[in-house]
């Protein structure tokens, strides 16, 4: 691909010179790609003419491996999809198997699952907030974000014994109960988190430099969001009020009172980097609101339902989707009546959002393209699987 340009030397037109676009690689080991992603960029000076994502650097054959282990053994594989939101990955898969087996999950276990999922959403959005600030040249917010995220991870470590890959939500319930002291600590964390978000907004969200770097940059229209199958904060940042927890409620979400926030254009325009970012900040506050309701309503009881010793779902298939921090995660599970899944297909929101980069990148400055990649908040473990 080449361009022909006319340049002027000393005020007089010179002969036409043929110039080629420069091809550069961003990644696969590059801080702006949020994982082992390689983006082939064709540039005209500092303008991105074409951006081509190259995937597969983190591919682990996860879906194929799941055909060779029993249904319980699949759960640790799901942990490694979005490894910044492992609890959310486990929940969707467990729900799929439970529905195929008609297993009733105890009410206390449902409360714990919802609490854990919303804590995980907060921890995930804190990573998005902190790393996005680093992408744009600010370091301090990263430290503030990790300070609060550490409190969530320590709590998860108490429950599951792990800090990142938990294997905590099991088919039929959860592995370990939460005691009253831990519930009180969660309540205290919610109080702290609410105050911290106010600081984050003052430090970053409405910071003049941050706004100028993100407002009116990487605009994703509603039409393009629909065409590409966007979901989660990326879709809501474009002004679409769609959240599975509210629109297609599962577990206890139909009993809870919370708002679905969308991009409103307080800065920039709806669908730009700033609005995608700010939707996540609002969702942290909503997660705190949800957790408080769950803490008030949680009841005593068992945390595991009646699950057969050997899990063999009847022949058939099912598709379950849940609202994860980065969008709608879907599990298409097919059973042939044996001890291992016949087929497990994962629908990844991060894969969908990565496919938008050629659309969003064209015509941007390279620095603005970095801001755009950070705003869609991808995790490559889920993209490649």
pTM: 0.91
**pLDDT tens-digit series, residues 223-269:** 999 999 999 999 999 999 999 999 999 999 999 999 999 989 888 89
Q: How far is CA 301 from CA 35, 110, 179, 221, 247, in A?
A: 41, 11, 12, 47, 29
Label residue 45 by pLDDT band (50, 70, 90): confident
Model pLDDT, residue 18: 62
pLDDT at position 7 over 60: no
pLDDT at position 4 over 50: no
Model pLDDT, residue 6: 42
Cis-peptide, bond into residue 338, ω within 30° of zero: no
- Percent of the chain at pLDDT exceeding 70: 95
In degrees to the nearest 10, what's the CA dihedral of 9, 11, 12, 13?
60
Model pLDDT, residue 265: 85
First to last CA, the chain: 33
Give the HSE-up count for residue 151: Cα atoms under 13 Å, Cβ half-sphere: 18
Length of the chain as a residue count: 385
Q: Which residues belong to CATH 1.10.645.10 in the chain? A: 62-384
Query: What does the block give as tokens for 198?
Result: 């106010």
**pLDDT tens-digit series, residues 188-225:** 999 999 999 999 999 999 999 999 999 999 899 999 99
**pLDDT tens-digit series, residues 72-88:** 999 999 999 989 999 99
pLDDT at position 14 over 80: no
**pLDDT tens-digit series, residues 90-137:** 999 999 999 999 999 999 999 999 999 999 999 999 999 999 999 898
Answer yes or no: are the C-beta atoms of 239 and 270 closer than 8 Å: yes
CA 332/CA 353 separation, integer angstroms: 19
Label residue 5 by pLDDT band (50, 70, 90): very low
Model pLDDT, residue 79: 92
Answer yes or no: are the C-beta atoms of 357 and 38 closer than 8 Å: no
pLDDT at position 175 over 70: yes
Print the SS3 string covering the chain. Answer: CEEEECCEECCEECCCEEEECEEEEECCCCHHHCCCCEEEEEEECCEEEEEEEECCCCCCCHHHHCCCCCCHHHHHHHHCCCCCCHHHHHHHHHHHHHHHHCCCCCHHHHHHHHHHHHHHHHHHHHHHHHHHHHHCCCCHHHHHHHHHHHHHHHHHHHHHCCCCCCCCEECCEECCCCCHHHHHHHHHHHHHHHHHHHHHHHHHHCCHHHHHHHCCCCCCCHHHHHHHCCCHHHHHHCCCCCCHHHHCCCCCHHHCCCCCCCCCCCCCCCCCHHHHHHHHHHHHHHHHHHHHHHHHHCCCCCCECCCCCCCCCCCEEEEEEEEECCEEEEEEEEECCCCCCCEEEEECHHHHHHCCHHHHHCCCEHHHHHHHHHHHCCCHHHHHC
**CATH of the domain spanning 62-384:** 1.10.645.10
Answer yes or no: are the C-beta atoms of 235 and 201 closer than 8 Å: no
């Amino acid at each position: 691909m080449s361009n022909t340009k006319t340049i002027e030397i000393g005020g007089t037109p010179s002969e036409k010179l043929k110039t080629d676009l420069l091809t550069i690689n961003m990644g696969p080991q590059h801080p702006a790609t949020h994982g082992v992603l390689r983006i082939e960029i064709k540039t005209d000076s500092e303008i991105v003419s074409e951006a081509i994502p190259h995937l597969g650097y983190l591919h682990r054959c996860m879906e194929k491996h799941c055909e060779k282990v029993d249904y319980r053994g699949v759960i640790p594989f799901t942990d490694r999809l979005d490894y910044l939101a492992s609890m959310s990955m486990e929940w969707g898969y467990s729900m799929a198997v439970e529905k195929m087996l008609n297993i009733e999950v105890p009410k206390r276990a449902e409360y714990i699952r919802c609490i854990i999922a919303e804590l995980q959403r907060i921890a995930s959005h804190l990573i998005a907030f902190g790393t996005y600030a680093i992408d744009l040249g600010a370091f301090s917010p990263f430290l503030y974000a990790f300070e609060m995220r550490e409190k969530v991870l320590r709590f998860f470590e108490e429950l599951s014994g792990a800090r990142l890959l938990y294997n905590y939500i099991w088919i039929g319930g959860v592995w370990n109960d939460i005691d009253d002291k831990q519930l009180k600590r969660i309540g205290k964390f919610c109080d702290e988190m609410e105050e911290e978000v106010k600081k984050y907004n003052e430090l970053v969200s409405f910071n003049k430099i941050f706004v100028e770097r993100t407002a009116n940059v990487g605009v994703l229209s509603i039409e393009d969001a629909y065409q590409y199958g966007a979901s989660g904060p990326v879709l809501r940042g474009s002004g679409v009020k769609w959240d599975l927890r509210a629109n297609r409620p599962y577990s206890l979400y139909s009993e809870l009172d919370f708002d679905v926030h969308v991009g409103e254009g307080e800065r920039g325009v709806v669908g730009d980097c700033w609005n995608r970012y700010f939707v996540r900040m609002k969702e942290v506050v909503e997660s705190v609101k949800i957790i408080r309701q769950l803490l008030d309503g949680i009841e005593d009881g068992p945390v595991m339902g009646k699950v057969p010793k050997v899990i063999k779902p009847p022949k058939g298939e099912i598709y379950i989707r849940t609202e994860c921090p980065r969008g709608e995660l879907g599990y298409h599970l097919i059973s042939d009546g044996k001890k291992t899944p016949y087929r497990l297909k994962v629908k990844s929101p991060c894969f969908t959002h990565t496919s938008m980069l050629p659309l969003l990148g064209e015509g941007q400055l390279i620095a603005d393209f970095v801001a755009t990649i950070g705003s869609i908040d991808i995790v490559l473990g889920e993209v490649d699987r």
